[in-house]
A and B are shown apart, each in its own frame.
Chain A
Amino acid sequence: MIVSALPDGELRRLLGRSGIRLRLGPIVANIASPFDAVESALALHYAAHEVLPDSEFADFHVAVDPVPGIRRWIRPQAYFRFDANPPFNPLAASQAFPLLEWGLNWCISAHCHQYLIIHAAVVERAGRALMMPAPPGSGKSTLCAALVARGWRLLSDELTLIDVETRRIVPLPRPVSLKNESIGIITEFWPEARMSPVVHDTLKGSVAHVRPPAASVQLADQTAVLGFIVLPAFRAAEPMALTPLAKSTAFMRLVENAFNYSVLGRRGFEILADVVAASDCREFRYGGQLADAVAAFDDLALAR
């Protein structure tokens, strides 16, 4: 059963009791929270995700709960719990859903060492995945949302999982996280996008999430071969350019953006070297021309 097929009130009931057990690609998370904002956001963003029975193993048991005491009434706060422990400081209760998303990212990046995990968006078209590793502000998620809007399969917006055995990309289709100006840009570019209300004044500024396409969620068990590594760099008022990038430079950028490269040690090096060797590496400078950017990426994907 998927979340959108749950009977009325069942999502709230599960969240308020032992939690709802969701399949997130290769990960199963058990999520509990009494917050209405978490319930409504899960109903929106995880509508197509599979709900598993309590008898199924869950990799992570997480919760977003109110901070007790006076914080229940004065500037209410929420904290993220992982196996009952709060690994982070609490945030304003209005940020309960972003906190859940960030907490899940942390759970996966800090624990799932069966994957080499890169801070990167990854999408797929014509059978090959395109990874965009990049620091904040590079336009990674904006490009990711734009490509998904035009038919690319969403594999992940934030965490690229590379299977350490097969070197294939393992999908983790979850909401696309947009920040600040990119929220308006994507709203205009993709009017049909299902977007959550904007949450202001977070550590990352204003944030909103876009629901992953149901088709991407339904294909979450289909891994992909990495074909392209593209380093985006947003440069306002600069002309667009998609140019070849030295593989050694691409390799080092991946090292910088990997969460667990040092954990995997020599094995991490070999995995990265293999995927870089097999990929077409590019640098992409753009000033926000999303339609042109999508066209350039389409050409790249279809040219092989």
Chain B
Amino acid sequence: MSEQAQWRAATPHALAWRRFDDEVVIYNDSTGSTHQLGALAGEIMLSLIQNPSGMDLHALVRDLTLRLELAGELDVATEVQRALDDLSELHLAARASA
């Protein structure tokens, strides 16, 4: 998978979300599904919703590292990529052309 791939919220107009402490619950009106997202996946979704034109992996990692103060041995890029794949399976995030 190319790191240059752009990611965006799959159906931003259909999403409603609420942050509770460090987690996010999100409702997708296009599927009728509600999801409980952990801190990283929740923040990724909020980043994508706030950037409707899309973000690539580098931009997401940079944004999340700053906002969540991620550091240490955590391989942020790998974790973000894994979360994006999970969000894609949930029809919350989608890859777009660069």
Residues of A within 8 A of B (CB): 246-249, 251-252, 255, 261-262, 265-266, 269-270, 273, 276-277
Contacts and interface: CB of A to CB of B under 8 A. Distances in A.
Nearest to B20: A247
Contact of A246 (B18, B20, B27, B29): B20
A262 B34 CA distance: 10
A265 B16 CA distance: 10
Identify the 4 closest CB pairs spanning chains A and B, nearest first: A247-B20, A269-B27, A248-B23, A273-B18
15 contacts: A246-B20, A246-B21, A247-B20, A248-B21, A248-B23, A248-B25, A249-B36, A252-B25, A252-B34, A265-B29, A265-B32, A269-B16, A269-B25, A273-B18, A277-B20
Contacts of B36: 248-249, 251-252
A261 B34 CA distance: 10
What is the size category of the interface that chain B forms with chain A?
10 to 19
B86 to A, nearest CB: 16
A254 to B, nearest CB: 10
Counting chain B CB atoms within 10 Å of each CB, the highest count among A248, A249, A266, A269 belongs to: A248
Interface of A is mostly: helix
B25 A262 contact: no
A60 B48 CA distance: 47
Counting chain B CB atoms within 10 Å of each CB, the highest count among A246, A252, A269 belongs to: A269
A266 B18 CA distance: 12
Interface string B22-42: 011101010010101000000
B54 to A, nearest CB: 24
B46 to A, nearest CB: 14
A277 B19 CA distance: 9
Contacts of A276: 20
A247 B32 contact: no
Nearest to B38: A248
Nearest to A276: B20
Contacts of B23: 246-248
A251 B20 contact: yes
B21 A255 contact: no
A277 B18 contact: yes
A266 B29 contact: yes
Nearest to A255: B34
A96 to B, nearest CB: 37
